[in-house]
Amino acid sequence: MDEETFEQFAEQLERYVRERLIPAEPQVIENDAVPADIIQEMREMGLFGLTVPEEYGGAGLNMSQYARTVNIMAYAAPAYRSIFSINVGMFASALKNGATEDQRAEWFPKLAEGKIACFGLTEPGSGSDSAGLQTTARPSADGNGWVLNGTKRYITNAPHADVALIMARTEKENLPKNAHVSAFLVPMNAAGVSTGSPDKKMGQSGSHISDIMLDDVEVPGEALLGGETGKGFRFAMQSLDNGRISVGATAAGYARRALDSAIRYANERKAFGEPIANFQLIQQMLADSEIEIYAAEAMMRDVTSRADRGENILIKAAAFKVFSSEMCGRVVDRVVQVYGGAGYLAEYDAERFYRDARIYRIYEGTTQILQLQIAKHMLREWEALNG
């Protein structure tokens, strides 16, 4: 999308977030669901196909535009972004990176029209540890397809999804570069696919996760992403760069919402005869939050511009996600403190911000896993230069 058109879209989206989505938040929280009419509006706005190439019916946003869109959406309740985030993030990225032309022609238009995708990597016994992955894919009896068995856990949008990208073991033994893992495009209405009840969570009302159970699920040979075994984990990890940028942009957007709420409350709440916004220690918490949000926004602009130039962003995407998610946690903690006793009450927004933000430090790679990954790649780069 050209920049002038995108700026018009971004301005329209900001109005939609503030005038439509935020007023509907009490309904989302009460019903633990995004209203169907809002989901349809989001489809009509093209939000489910933001990163789908234009030739397949999508908006064709580059990484900078995509991250900014997510950042704008994240100002509202997390459920709104969550319902389309897998489509425009990891699923679309995996199709771009690893799908055959036939697979792109089949699935990109479906994403653009609003079909919902999910991403099946995490399992009960493994998350970032691919060696522990237990879901299997074996050749079907006729040799023309695959049979999948296993369970995936904590899968965002699984209860509503039309299609899943499932990581499965195609070799019994662990192989170098995770070549024992392949990726499969699995329709959620396929025989043998079922989902558990949505998990009850600490926060993020209206955003649903559940298990996916695969019981002798037969898929055709065309379901193997890229048409080759052993490439699935690489496709998944490349997609996670995209997902981590999305989480970082989301955390920065939600931190901005929380800080704006704290500024408003600090000007309304009076103590000792004056607004608490006049007190220097309150001002310090507000200022520290602004400083950190600005740093995250600057990181977002840098890493996305690098991605658009075709640079390897593995380290920087992980660094942005770590900093932004940890920053958001610090900001919402300060916001509760600014609210004081009211910050602990469910009738005020601060308590919700605090619960909603906690997951950002966990999904798409915990802070600790990403610290290990960053260090590992730093050391590899040093060895390549000095070895």
Residue 298, CB-side half-sphere exposure with 13 Å CA sphere:
6
The answer to whether 241 touches 317, Cβ cutoff 8 Å, is yes
Question: What's the mean pLDDT in 364-380?
Answer: 93
pLDDT at 172: 86
Closest by CA to 221, choosing from 103, 130, 117, 122, is: 103
User: How much is the mean pLDDT over the chain?
Assistant: 93
Asked whether residue 195 falls in the same domain as residue 325, the answer is: no
Q: How many domains does the chain have?
A: 3
Asked whether residue 107 falls in the same domain as residue 131, the answer is: no
DSSP 183-244: EEEEETTSTTEEE-PPPP-SS-TT--EEEEEEEEEEEEGGGBGGG-TT-HHHHHHHHHHHHH
- List phi, psi (to 5°) of 264: -60, -45
Question: What's the mean pLDDT in 156-173?
Answer: 92
Q: Give yes or no for residue 161 having a pLDDT over 70.
A: yes
Asked whether residue 283 falls in the same domain as residue 219, the answer is: no
Asked whether residue 122 falls in the same domain as residue 109, the answer is: no
Q: Give yes or no for residue 152 having a pLDDT over 90.
A: yes
Name the CA radius of gyration of the chain, rounded. 21
Least reliable range by pLDDT among 104-118, 126-140, 358-372: 126-140
pLDDT at 243: 85
Question: Which residue among 188, 207, 228 closes a domain?
Answer: 228
Q: Give yes or no for residue 128 having a pLDDT over 70.
A: no
Strand partners, 165: 119, 185
Question: What's the mean pLDDT in 262-279?
Answer: 96
Asked whether residue 251 falls in the same domain as residue 378, the answer is: yes
Query: Higher pLDDT residue, 361 or 131?
Result: 361
Asked whether residue 224 falls in the same domain as residue 179, the answer is: yes
Asked whether residue 15 falls in the same domain as residue 111, the answer is: yes
Asked whether residue 142 falls in the same domain as residue 220, the answer is: yes
Catalytic residue positions, numbered: 364
pLDDT at 89: 84
Task: Report the CATH number at residue 361.
Answer: 1.20.140.10
Least reliable range by pLDDT among 80-84, 138-142, 176-180, 349-353: 176-180
Query: Higher pLDDT residue, 85 or 250?
Result: 250
CA 105 to mean position of chain CA atoms: 24
Q: Give yes or no for residue 239 having a pLDDT over 70.
A: yes
- Strands 136-139, 209-220: pairing is unpaired
Asked whether residue 75 falls in the same domain as residue 188, the answer is: no
pLDDT band at 240 (very low <50, low <70, confident <90, very high): confident
Asked whether residue 215 falls in the same domain as residue 283, the answer is: no
Give percent of the chain above pLDDT 90. 83
Q: What are 284-332's pLDDT values in tens digits?
A: 999 999 999 999 999 999 999 999 999 999 999 999 999 999 999 999 9
Distance (Å, whole) CA 21 – CA 239: 28
pLDDT at 109: 94
Asked whether residue 52 falls in the same domain as residue 98, the answer is: yes
- Strands 163-169, 117-120: pairing is parallel
Question: Which residue among 63, 89, 115 closes a domain?
Answer: 115
Asked whether residue 238 falls in the same domain as residue 382, the answer is: yes
Query: Higher pLDDT residue, 90 or 150?
Result: 150
Q: Give yes or no for residue 183 having a pLDDT over 70.
A: yes
Q: Give yes or no for residue 387 having a pLDDT over 80.
A: no
Task: Report the CATH number at residue 31.
Answer: 1.10.540.10
pLDDT at 130: 65
Distance (Å, whole) CA 148 – CA 194: 13
Q: Which domain holds residue 352?
A: 234-386
Q: Which residue has the tokens 């709104």?
A: 80
